[in-house]
Structure 1
Amino acid sequence: MERSLETEVSQAVDAWLRWLPRWEPATHRGRVAPCRRCFGSPVLSAAGLGSDVPHGVQHGLSTRIKTIVDRAVATYTSQNLPMLQTELDHQAARNRSRSYRPAEGLEPEFEGLPMDPEPVPGAPFLFTISGMADEADAEIPALPPLSDEAKSALRQEVGLADDYANMVGREVCTILLRHRLRIQEGVGEYVEPQIALLLDELTRSLDAPFDPRDTLDA
């Protein structure tokens, strides 16, 4: 497992570094709620991406690493946890039957993010993407209920899957430590100059809050 994870993590970092030059600072309203995937993530800590790094930069890497962990857990589940695999298969079939699946097929930089922007007070949305997705989901019949014995057995298998995910996550974090230098070099080359430019523009606007042309026109 170590050798395979080493290759996958290296490839994920490579892909993230290829994407990094395309990153640009967000200009829309920030979100109030922190990203559940990135906030306090040990993966980001291992990669050296602290709170001073923009969330979009963090999310692109954390999502790629999560895919590696998810893939490893999926393989382990299919080979060792038959009841959990059956439930996952049923859920996957149910998801495929939905008529509207806006969260599927997204690039890693957008995967897992809220589908709708934060609402503006006093200006409600006529509709939301997440609302339409919920409507499509409500049209699909629910999965049949499980017996108490089946629920207990399923909880045990879920616990085993969680334990395996934690083990793989620790391995991945250890591997990421070896990529810290090139991750930080990428941030220094492509991210920090853009942040410095934004701060410089903000400083100039604070030093001169009014457009000099307004004074001349007056």
Structure 2
Amino acid sequence: MERSLETQVSQAVDAWLRWLPRWQPATHRGRSAPCRLCFGSPVLSAAGLGADVPHGVQHGLSTRVKTIVDHAVSDYTARNLPMLQAELDQQATRNRARSYRPSEGLDPEFEGMPLDPDPEPGAPFLFTIAGLAAEADADVPALPPLSAEAKAALRQEVGLADDYANMIGREVCGILLHHRLRIQEAVAEFVEPQIEALLAELTQSLDAPFDPRAGDDTLD
């Protein structure tokens, strides 16, 4: 029996809550570009995860919810949008033909994240994961071109799929409102203490950037 949307969202939140105790603040440099999935996300607003919550914490929930919406749209497309489904099937076949697919099979916390760190000035990479994936993609034949009429029909079906995705997204946001309390309680228990510890460590290093004994000129 197909699970209800309420059940799927509840299970996604449960999975995120089980993962959250393993979260730790990132120690590498932050990225300059905002995450397209999380930045301004109504899903995160409904869940009560504001801008003061670290992105890694946000991303772990938003990707799980996105999977729910994606599956609902996929089912709708398979039932009602034959031309779009045919195009997606061709693209899926093309993707399976690639010899290197580094972005597939990732845990939700890493889905949609950049494959490579930001480059540092004056220190270019010898190679990048994204570059290797692009090379593998270039070896796969392109999809056959569409006629003008087919393109117009495909755009219409894409619009219908987008409308359905927006409707499911609104329903999911409404359901998430009922989970806000336990989401925020988990953030307070597992996330905020780590952030406070980082801030305390930073404050201490700013107050005493050097060993105070380094300036002691007293001779024995």
TM-score bracket for this pair, using the shorter chain length:
over 0.9
Distance 2:39 2:60 in 1: 13
Runs of 4+ in 1 over 6 A off after TM superposition: none
Find the aligned partners of 1:125 and 1:109 in 2 and give their Cα distance.
25
User: Does 2:126 match 1:159?
Assistant: no
C-alpha deviation, 1:208, in angstroms: 0.6
Deviation (angstroms), 1:60: 0.1
How far the C-alpha of 1:217 sits from its partner, in A, is 9.7
State how far apart, in whole Å, the 2-side matches of 1:30 and 1:217 are. Answer: 40
1:105 matched residue in structure 2: 105
Which residue of the partner structure matches residue 143 of structure 2? 143
CA distance in 2: counterparts of 1:217 and 1:90, whole angstroms: 76
Question: In the TM superposition, what is the alpha-carbon distance from 1:213 to its structure 2 partner?
Answer: 5.0
- For each residue in 1:26-66, what CA deviation from the matched residue of structure 2 results, as whole angstroms up to 9, or x when unmatched? 00000000000000000000000000000000000000000
Deviations 1:107-132, CA, capped at 9 Å, x for gaps: 00000000000000111111000000
Show structure 1 runs of 5+ residues with no match.
none
- Any residues of structure 2 matched to 1:40-119 within 5 Å, and which? 40-119=40-119
Note closer, same or farther for the CA distance 1:208–1:8 as it changes in structure 2 (3 Å cut): same
**Once the 2 structures are TM-superposed, how far is the Cα of residue 215 of structure 1 from its aligned partner?**
4.3
Per-residue Cα deviation, 1:63-116 (whole angstroms, up to 9, x for no partner): 000000000000000000000000000000000000000000000000000000
Give the match's secondary structure for 1:178: helix
| Shift, 1:211, TM fit | 2.1
- 1:161-192 deviation digits (Å, cap 9, x = unpaired): 00000000000000000000000000000000
Question: Residue in 2 aligned with 1:187?
Answer: 187
- Which ranges in structure 2 are unaligned for 5 or more consecutive residues? none
Alpha-carbon distance between aligned partners in 2 of 1:160 and 1:118, rounded to the nearest angstrom = 37
Matched letter for residue 6 of structure 1: E
Please report the RMSD computed on the Cα atoms of aligned residues, expressed in angstroms: 1.2
For residues 112-162 of structure 1, give each alpha carbon's deviation from its aligned partner in whole angstroms, at most 9, with x where no partner exists: 000000000111111000000000000000000001110010000000000
Counterpart of 2:4 in 1: which secondary structure? helix
Q: What TM-score results when the alignment is normalised by the length of structure 1?
A: 0.97
Counterpart of 2:66, as a letter, is: K
Aligned equivalent of 1:199: 199
- Tell me the SS of whatever aligns to 2:135: helix
* CA separation of 1:139 and 1:217: change in aligned 2, threshold 3 A: farther
Distance of 1:185 and 1:68 partners within structure 2: 23
Please state how far the C-alpha of 1:214 moved relative to its aligned partner. 3.8
TM-score, reference length from structure 2: 0.96
Q: How many residues align?
A: 216
% identity of equivalent residues: 81
Instruction: Name 1:12's counterpart in structure 2.
Output: 12
1:32 matched to 2:49? The reply is: no
The residue type equivalent to 2:205 in the other structure is: S
- Once the two structures are TM-superposed, the CA of residue 212 in structure 1 deviates from its matched residue by 3.4
- Who is 1:133 aligned against? 133
